[in-house]
């Protein structure tokens, strides 16, 4: 739901950020695929499949950590909740512009 | 040897420690030291209420029975967490911008603040959660029993039900103490959350300790475990260890859905969230927690199967394995882990449910008994709200306990975990649809919820009671009235599925279809569409969307109501901040739609959206949506909104500036008028005594009266009038000196009580004359001051004699209240007269102002101006408090021994 | 026969001073302190001349003057106004309302006697 008036070319930094966001959106899909893979092979579960499930789980966690560090830093720069802190008048979103 | 008493003792100590942790955290939060408390780690750990006793003990049992399948319960939440950018981010932001108090509140708020939906979701949550609470009680009692059985030598097993009732009672006490101690507009509970975080660590440490002991202590390292796994697979019944696709996918989805919709998860995930960075960290840290929790589950299960005697309950391997090897300490730790899992779930679930029950069922009922009342009738709202919360907590725990008693524990209860998940998952379509689809309507949500709930109850919940329960064996086998298509566990002939997956499939499919089709066919109300836009576009909004607008509402009424609900300090501070934002001074902002919207959100943090909406509606006398709002809704295109939002902000800024300017202008005009009036007043005040003096002195000059008594009288009149003249000049000079800052203060130590005593003594003549009664609470007045107490007494004298002179009540009363707030001392003077009219409130402290032109009251209207100057010099303030029973003035002073000279005056040099 | 003068003044000391000065000059003086009942007091006392203060409790001297000038029996009564607010606007208002003499406080004793004598014609 981005504005259509966005510029065509972004600075390198903003461009990177957009791609990090894309990656964050795609990560759960990767997770779904990884967790569906063990079903593709029939039969009893052996140590191999067990190891596969746990290691892909761990990889997901690592990737999420990497992404969160980028996205979290961004959240820090633009604190949300400008409307939710009741007692700080300077938080008025209109007054800040 | 572990005796029963040791076990109970350790348990007791552990609980006391939790109490302390909660207490300290609460206290820190009150002193607003929330830095540590709002750290992402605490948040992440608090999410672990997801791991209940069912997962702590049950996961191993699950793994012993069906192998790897148990991880689905953890994979679902993992997917949700790592996909936070999609869903959770939006959910949390909506939760915070709309001040959502519970999942019922979220749904109710999204669909036009409909209380019907609030009630529906609350009911589903209560029905889905009660058995789950029973399950926790069962797990605690069972784990006690394990110790009792293994150590039959030493101790008699006490009545299990007795244990359950003690546990339930203790939990109710803890929850009431820390969950309803304060009524916070954010509905956050720092104490509880911190205690939960501690329990989370205990859980993890306990399970990992048992796991490490099992793998490297008795299992023979990783090779030994591999062998044990092979052995377990061979020993297991056919197919137990193969993955069943339907269950694998279905349960992963189910746990993901439940993770979002379980009331307790919503509480920690959304309501207790303080800022977005917490979510970023939790997105990987919480999956890591789950990963570690499940890492040793399979080893423990296979070793338990291999070593422990046949027939041992695999659900309790975590306890029985250490006990079998006589590792009492480890067993104790494992027990505490299980205990933590059970208690944290029950505490958070009952807080979440109690909030829902009190906000959506009890408060609306209470509100409906007082339709069309005015603001002051909300006097007891706060107390009622707290009592409602407390009663709900006790009620919910009692319900859980009775469910445990009636179901008799046992295997039927153990299966309730997934059933409960499937029940609360019915809220998912309404919730997700509400966040992402503006077309989702209230009717659709209601219809979808009811459909899903009924199908869940019919296909899963009721059959779970077994053939002796609500459904007979023949009904389960052949369907009601022999209609095979309606067989509860094979609806429409679909009988190839596992019962849980079957129920999940049908209930959610039908829930979604009904929700979508009714939404497509129905036409939502304006308020609903407004809320829809706010929810769906929450990430693009830079400011709060426009709320409703109203014709006539005095903010004083709203202030009176808000004081009753939020508490007067908080309400006053909030109103003042809002007024300031509008560029106004004092406590009464304009009742703009914006302001009303914010007030409503503020109140909804306490009483829920629907109730807050109704309360404000009652005060304002109409809950209709204005033309402006309709336009805002009709303005469907996001593009337009974005283009206008910039202009709107500019316009808002201009409006604020314009309002400020016009206020200043008005004030200046009034000041100028007042200055003229004052000069004329001063002229009158000076000329009157001078007239007498001149007249009588001319008489004396011309020979005077023949009667010597009359002559003496004339001389004394001249004398009295000169004194009067001097006093007036003194006042003028005092003010002028104060204003120019050329004043020397003489600070000294004195107790507030003495200063007030002096002030009252000095005004005793006017008090007696006017027959005014003064009410004081002398015990509050024992505050030590270090300030110029003579100047302070001068202020008090002025306020007291003003009250005596101007209070228009028949039976005059003045209450003087002293209290400390936020490092400052407040002294309130409240009389029982009709108060200062609104239009005069902003002017009374200006010099030359006088409310009426009755010269009879004496003075030239300089008193309050002098007071203001003095308080300014003493680093304090004096303000008029609107919305009290009469005229009310608040004197504020800094407390303690800070520098008595807040600033330096030029006089300091002059006096050297 | 003594000339009757009525003094409407709420400051007791000023009222006393005026009565002393006028009695010594041979006037018959009565005083009244309230603004609200002043018009009635004029009707009762039927004075030859009236001394009227402006700032009175209840009703201002201007209102009293207006009332007197709009009633037939008091329309012609000579009125001397005293005020402690000696601004030009006050004098203008009094003159518009039909005052005969206007004096600012503080006044000189001889001035007030002169004015009164002129008002009653000798």
Q: What is the CATH number of the domain that holds C36?
A: 3.40.50.2300
Q: Which residues of B touch A38 (CB under 8 A)?
A: 68, 243, 248
Cα torsion B708, B714, B719, B721 to 10°: value is: 170
Q: Which residues of B touch A20 (CB under 8 A)?
A: none
Using the beta-carbon criterion (under 8 Å), do B691 and C11 form an inter-chain contact? yes
Q: Which range has highest mean pLDDT (B183-192, B537-546, B801-810, B857-866)?
A: B801-810
B-C C-beta contacts closer than 8 Å: 64
Shortest Cα distance, chain A CAs vs residue B85, angstroms? 6
Predicted pLDDT at B382? 74
Confidence of residue B78 (pLDDT cuts 50, 70, 90): very high
Using the beta-carbon criterion (under 8 Å), do A61 and B243 form an inter-chain contact? no
Q: Which range has highest mean pLDDT (B221-225, B660-664, B855-859)?
A: B660-664
Q: What is the pLDDT of residues B685-725, one digit of tens each?
A: 788 889 999 999 998 888 877 788 888 888 899 988 888 78
- B105-140 residues labelled b (16+ CB within 10 A) or e (exposed): bbbbbbbbbbbebbbbbbbbbbbbbbbbbbbbbbbb
State the best of B73, B85, B302 to mutate against chain A, taking most chain A CBs within 10 Å: B85
Using the beta-carbon criterion (under 8 Å), do C57 and B693 form an inter-chain contact? no
Q: Which range has highest mean pLDDT (A2-16, B49-63, B568-582, B623-637)?
A: B49-63
> Where along chain B do its domains lie?
4-369+379-405, 542-636, 640-740, 748-911
Q: What is the pLDDT of residues B875-890, one digit of tens each?
A: 889 988 887 778 899 9
Q: What is the rounded CA–CA span in Å between residue C45 and residue C49? A: 10
| A23 within 8 A of A30, measured Cβ to Cβ | no
The answer to whether B675 contacts chain C (CB < 8 Å) is: no
Confidence of residue B61 (pLDDT cuts 50, 70, 90): confident
CATH-assigned architecture of domain B4-369+379-405: Up-down Bundle (1.20)
Using the beta-carbon criterion (under 8 Å), do A45 and B82 form an inter-chain contact? no
Predicted pLDDT at B514? 93
Count the domains in chain C.
1
Using the beta-carbon criterion (under 8 Å), do B276 and A79 form an inter-chain contact? yes
CATH of domain B640-740: 1.10.287.130
Shortest Cα distance, chain B CAs vs residue C73, angstroms? 31
State the best of B84, B98, B280 to mutate against chain A, taking most chain A CBs within 10 Å: B280
Written as six digits, the tokens of B807 are: 């209070």
Predicted pLDDT at B157? 52
Confidence of residue B852 (pLDDT cuts 50, 70, 90): very low
Written as six digits, the tokens of B113 are: 């603040």
Considering only residues 709 to 738 of chain B, which have any Cβ-Cβ distance to chain C shorter than 8 Å?
A: 710, 714, 717, 720-721
Q: What is the pLDDT of residues C52-69, one digit of tens each?
A: 998 887 788 899 999 999
Q: What is the rounded CA–CA span in Å between residue B422 and residue B129? A: 11
Written as six digits, the tokens of B74 are: 């953890």
Q: Which residues of C touch B684 (CB under 8 A)?
A: 55, 84-85
Predicted pLDDT at B372? 52
Average pLDDT over residues B208-213: 91
pTM for the model stands at: 0.61
Q: What is the rounded CA–CA span in Å between residue B196 and residue B348? A: 9
Cα–Cα distances (Å) from B215 to B206, B740, B827, in that order, read: 14, 83, 68
Q: What is the pLDDT of residues B639-677, one digit of tens each?
A: 455 666 777 888 888 888 888 888 888 888 887 887 777
The answer to whether B575 contacts chain A (CB < 8 Å) is: no
Helix ranges (H only) for B493-637 are: 499-521, 526-536, 555-566, 568-581, 593-607, 609-620, 627-634
Give strand pairing partners of C52: C8, C81
Average pLDDT over residues B567-596: 77
Helices then strands (H, E): number in chain A?
2, 0
Q: What is the pLDDT of residues C18-34, one digit of tens each?
A: 999 999 888 999 999 88
Considering only residues 83 to 122 of chain C, which have any Cβ-Cβ distance to chain B shorter than 8 Å?
A: 84-87, 104-109
Confidence of residue B451 (pLDDT cuts 50, 70, 90): very high
Confidence of residue B411 (pLDDT cuts 50, 70, 90): low
State the best of C104, C106, C107 to mutate against chain B, taking most chain B CBs within 10 Å: C106
Written as six digits, the tokens of B445 are: 């949500």
Let me know if chains C and A touch, i.e. at least 3 Cβ pairs under 8 angstroms.
Answer: no
Among candidate residues B138, B598, B630, the one with its CA nearest the CA of residue A93: B598
Average pLDDT over residues B42-49: 89
Using the beta-carbon criterion (under 8 Å), do B688 and C84 form an inter-chain contact? yes
Considering only residues 206 to 235 of chain B, which have any Cβ-Cβ distance to chain A shorter than 8 Å?
A: 226, 229-230, 233
Q: What is the rounded CA–CA span in Å between residue B210 and residue C91? A: 103
Cα–Cα distances (Å) from B175 to A47, B129, B197, B350, B607, in that order, read: 44, 16, 15, 8, 19
Higher pLDDT, B136 or B220: B136
Predicted pLDDT at A72? 64
Predicted pLDDT at B34? 55
Using the beta-carbon criterion (under 8 Å), do B298 and A50 form an inter-chain contact? yes
Domain B748-911 matching CATH 3.30.565.10: the answer reads yes
Give the neighbor-by-neighbor strand order of the sheet with C79-83. Answer: C28-32, C4-8, C49-53, C79-83, C101-104
Written as six digits, the tokens of B660 are: 């400020």
The Cα angle at residue B376 between residues B375 and B379, in degrees rounded to 5: 115
Q: What is the ipTM of this complex?
A: 0.92
Confidence of residue B550 (pLDDT cuts 50, 70, 90): very low
Average pLDDT over residues B69-88: 89
Higher pLDDT, B598 or B874: B874
Predicted pLDDT at B530? 75
B289, pLDDT greater than 90: yes
Percent of chain B with pLDDT over 70: 82
Confidence of residue B2 (pLDDT cuts 50, 70, 90): low
Written as six digits, the tokens of B468 are: 């002796």
Using the beta-carbon criterion (under 8 Å), do A60 and B295 form an inter-chain contact? no
Q: Which residues of A touch B243 (CB under 8 A)?
A: 38-39, 45
B551, pLDDT greater than 50: no
Higher pLDDT, A42 or B907: A42
- Chains adjacent to A (≥3 CB pairs closer than 8 angstroms): B
The answer to whether B67 contacts chain A (CB < 8 Å) is: yes
Q: What is the rounded CA–CA span in Å between residue B322 and residue C3? A: 124
Give strand pairing partners of B816: B776, B829
Confidence of residue B374 (pLDDT cuts 50, 70, 90): low
Using the beta-carbon criterion (under 8 Å), do B280 and A68 form an inter-chain contact? yes
Residue range of the domain that includes C69: 4-119
Q: Which residues of B touch A82 (CB under 8 A)?
A: 542-543
State the best of B298, B543, B652 to mutate against chain A, taking most chain A CBs within 10 Å: B543
Predicted pLDDT at B27? 79
Q: Which residues of B touch A59 (CB under 8 A)?
A: none
| B256 within 8 A of B79, measured Cβ to Cβ | yes
Mean pLDDT, each 10-residue run in order, chain C (122 residues): 87 90 90 88 90 85 91 89 81 88 89 90 66
B624, pLDDT greater than 70: no
- Chains adjacent to B (≥3 CB pairs closer than 8 angstroms): A, C
Written as six digits, the tokens of B579 are: 């007024």
Predicted pLDDT at B410? 61
B408, pLDDT greater than 60: yes
Mean pLDDT of chain B: 79
Using the beta-carbon criterion (under 8 Å), do C105 and B688 form an inter-chain contact? yes
Using the beta-carbon criterion (under 8 Å), do B687 and C109 form an inter-chain contact? no
Using the beta-carbon criterion (under 8 Å), do B717 and C104 form an inter-chain contact? no
Considering only residues 843 to 902 of chain B, which have any Cβ-Cβ distance to chain C shorter than 8 Å?
A: 854-856
Considering only residues 299 to 318 of chain B, which have any Cβ-Cβ distance to chain A shorter than 8 Å?
A: none
Using the beta-carbon criterion (under 8 Å), do A84 and B540 form an inter-chain contact? no
Q: What is the pLDDT of residues A52-66, one digit of tens each?
A: 888 999 999 999 998
Average pLDDT over residues B352-362: 87
Using the beta-carbon criterion (under 8 Å), do B241 and A76 form an inter-chain contact? no
> Where along chain A do its domains lie?
13-75
Using only C-alpha atoms, chain B has a radius of gyration, in whole angstroms, of 36
Q: Which of the residue ranges A46-50, A65-69, B864-868, C106-110 would you say has the lowest mean pLDDT?
A: A46-50
């Amino acid at each position: 739901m981005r504005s259509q008036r966005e510029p065509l070319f972004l600075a390198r930094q903003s461009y990177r950020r957009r791609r990090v966001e894309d990656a964050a959106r795609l990560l759960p899909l990767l997770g779904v695929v990884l967790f569906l893979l063990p079903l593709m092979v029939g039969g009893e579960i052996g140590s191999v499949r067990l190891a596969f499930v746990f290691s892909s789980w761990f990889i997901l966690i690592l990737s999420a950590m990497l992404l969160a560090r980028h996205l979290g830093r961004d959240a820090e720069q633009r604190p949300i909740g400008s409307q939710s802190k009741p007692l700080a008048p300077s938080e008025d979103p209109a007054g800040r512009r | 040897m572990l005796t029963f008493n040791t076990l109970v003792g350790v348990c007791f100590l552990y609980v006391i420690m939790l109490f302390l942790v909660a207490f300290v955290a609460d206290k820190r939060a009150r002193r607003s030291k929330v830095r540590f408390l709002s750290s992402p780690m605490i948040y992440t750990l608090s999410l672990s209420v997801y791991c209940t006793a069912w997962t702590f003990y049950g996961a191993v049992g699950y793994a012993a029975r069906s192998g790897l399948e148990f991880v689905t319960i953890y994979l679902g939440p993992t997917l949700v967490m790592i996909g936070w950018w999609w869903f959770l981010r939006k959910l949390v932001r909506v939760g915070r911008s709309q001040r959502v108090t519970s999942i019922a509140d979220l749904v109710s708020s999204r669909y036009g603040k409909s209380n019907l939906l609030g009630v529906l979701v609350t009911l589903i949550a209560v029905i889905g959660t009660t058995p789950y609470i029973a399950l926790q009680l069962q797990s605690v009692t069972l784990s006690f029993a394990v110790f009792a059985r293994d150590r039959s030598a030493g101790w008699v097993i006490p009545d299990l039900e007795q244990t359950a009732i003690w546990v339930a009672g203790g939990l109710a006490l803890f929850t009431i103490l820390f969950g309803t101690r304060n009524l916070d507009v954010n509905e956050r509970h720092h104490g509880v959350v911190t205690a939960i975080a501690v329990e989370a660590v205990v859980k993890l440490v306990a399970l990992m300790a048992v796991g490490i002991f099992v793998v490297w202590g008795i299992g023979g390292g990783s090779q030994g475990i591999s062998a044990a796994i092979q052995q377990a697979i061979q020993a297991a019944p056919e197919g137990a260890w193969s993955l069943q696709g339907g269950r694998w996918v279905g349960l992963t989805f189910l746990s993901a859905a439940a993770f979002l919709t379980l009331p307790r998860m919503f509480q920690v995930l959304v309501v207790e969230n303080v800022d977005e960075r917490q979510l970023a960290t939790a997105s990987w840290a919480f999956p890591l927690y789950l990963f570690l929790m499940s890492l040793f589950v399979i080893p423990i299960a296979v070793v338990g199967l291999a070593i422990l005697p046949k027939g041992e309950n695999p659900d309790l391997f975590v306890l029985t394995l250490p006990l079998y090897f006589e590792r009492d300490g480890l067993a104790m730790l494992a027990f505490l882990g299980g205990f933590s899992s059970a208690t944290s779930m029950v505490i958070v679930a009952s807080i979440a449910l109690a909030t829902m029950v009190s906000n959506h069922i009890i408060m609306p009922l209470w509100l409906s008994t007082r339709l069309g009342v005015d603001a002051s009738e909300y006097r007891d709202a706060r107390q009622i709200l707290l009592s409602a919360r407390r009663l709900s907590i006790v009620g919910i725990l009692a319900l859980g306990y009775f469910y445990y008693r009636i179901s008799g524990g046992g295997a039927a209860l153990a299966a309730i975990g997934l059933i409960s998940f499937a029940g609360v998952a019915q809220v998912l379509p309404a919730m997700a649809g509400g966040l992402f689809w503006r077309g989702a309507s209230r009717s659709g949500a209601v219809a979808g919820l009811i459909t899903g709930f009924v199908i869940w109850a019919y296909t899963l919940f009721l059959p779970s009671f077994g053939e002796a329960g609500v459904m007979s064996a023949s009904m389960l086998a052949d369907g009601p009235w022999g209609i095979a298509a309606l067989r509860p566990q094979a609806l429409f002939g679909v009988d190839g599925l596992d019962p849980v997956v079957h129920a999940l499939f049908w209930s959610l499919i039908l829930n979604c279809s009904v929700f979508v089709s009714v939404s497509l066919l129905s036409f939502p109300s304006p308020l609903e569409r407004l809320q829809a836009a706010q929810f769906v576009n929450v990430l693009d909004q830079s400011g709060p969307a426009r709320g409703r607008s109203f014709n006539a509402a005095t903010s004083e009424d709203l202030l009176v109501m808000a004081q009753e609900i939020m508490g007067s300090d908080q309400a006053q501070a909030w109103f003042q901040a809002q007024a300031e934002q509008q560029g106004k001074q004092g406590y009464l902002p304009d009742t703009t739609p914006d302001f009303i919207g914010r007030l409503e959100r503020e109140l909804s943090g306490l009483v829920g959206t629907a109730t807050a909406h109704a309360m404000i509606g009652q005060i304002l006398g109409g809950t209709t949506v204005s033309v402006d709002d309709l336009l805002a809704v009709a303005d469907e295109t996001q593009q337009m909104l974005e283009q206008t939002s910039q202009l709107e902000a500019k316009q808002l800024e201009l409006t604020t500036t314009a309002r400020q300017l016009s206020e200043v202008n008005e004030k200046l005009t009034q000041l100028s008028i007042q200055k003229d009036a004052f000069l004329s007043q001063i002229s009158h005040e000076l000329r009157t005594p001078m007239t007498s003096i001149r007249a009588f002195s001319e008489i004396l000059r011309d020979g005077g009266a023949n009667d010597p008594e009359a002559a003496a009288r004339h001389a004394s009149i001249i004398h009295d009038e000169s004194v009067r003249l001097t006093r007036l000049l003194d006042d003028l000079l005092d003010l002028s000196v104060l204003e120019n800052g050329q004043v020397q203060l003489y600070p000294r130590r004195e107790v507030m009580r003495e200063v007030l005593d002096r002030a009252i003594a000095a005004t005793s003549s006017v008090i007696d004359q006017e027959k005014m009664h003064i009410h004081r609470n002398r015990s509050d007045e024992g505050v030590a001051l270090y300030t110029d107490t003579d100047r302070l007494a001068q202020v008090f004298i002025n306020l007291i004699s003003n009250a005596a002179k101007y209070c228009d009540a028949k039976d005059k009363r003045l209450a003087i209240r002293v209290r400390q707030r936020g490092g400052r001392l407040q002294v309130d003077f409240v009389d029982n007269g009709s108060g200062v009219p609104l239009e005069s409130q902003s002017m009374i402290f200006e010099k030359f102002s006088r409310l009426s032109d009755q010269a009879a009251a004496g003075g030239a209207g300089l008193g309050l101006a002098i007071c203001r100057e003095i308080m300014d010099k003493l680093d304090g303030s004096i303000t008029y408090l609107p919305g009290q029973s009469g005229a009310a003035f608040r004197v504020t002073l800094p407390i303690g021994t800070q520098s008595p000279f807040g600033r330096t005056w030029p006089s300091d040099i002059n006096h050297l | 026969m003594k000339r009757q003068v009525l003094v409407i003044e709420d400051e007791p000391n000023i009222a006393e001073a005026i009565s002393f000065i006028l009695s010594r000059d041979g006037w018959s003086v009565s005083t009244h302190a309230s603004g609200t009942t002043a018009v009635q007091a004029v009707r009762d006392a039927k004075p030859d001349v009236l001394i009227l203060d402006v700032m009175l409790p209840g009703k201002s001297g201007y209102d009293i003057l207006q009332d007197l000038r709009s009633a037939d029996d008091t329309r012609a009564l000579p009125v001397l106004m005293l005020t402690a607010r000696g601004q030009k606007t006050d004098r203008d208002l009094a003159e518009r309302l039909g005052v005969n003499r206007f004096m600012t406080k503080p006044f000189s004793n001889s001035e007030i006697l002169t004015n009164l004598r002129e008002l009653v014609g000798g």
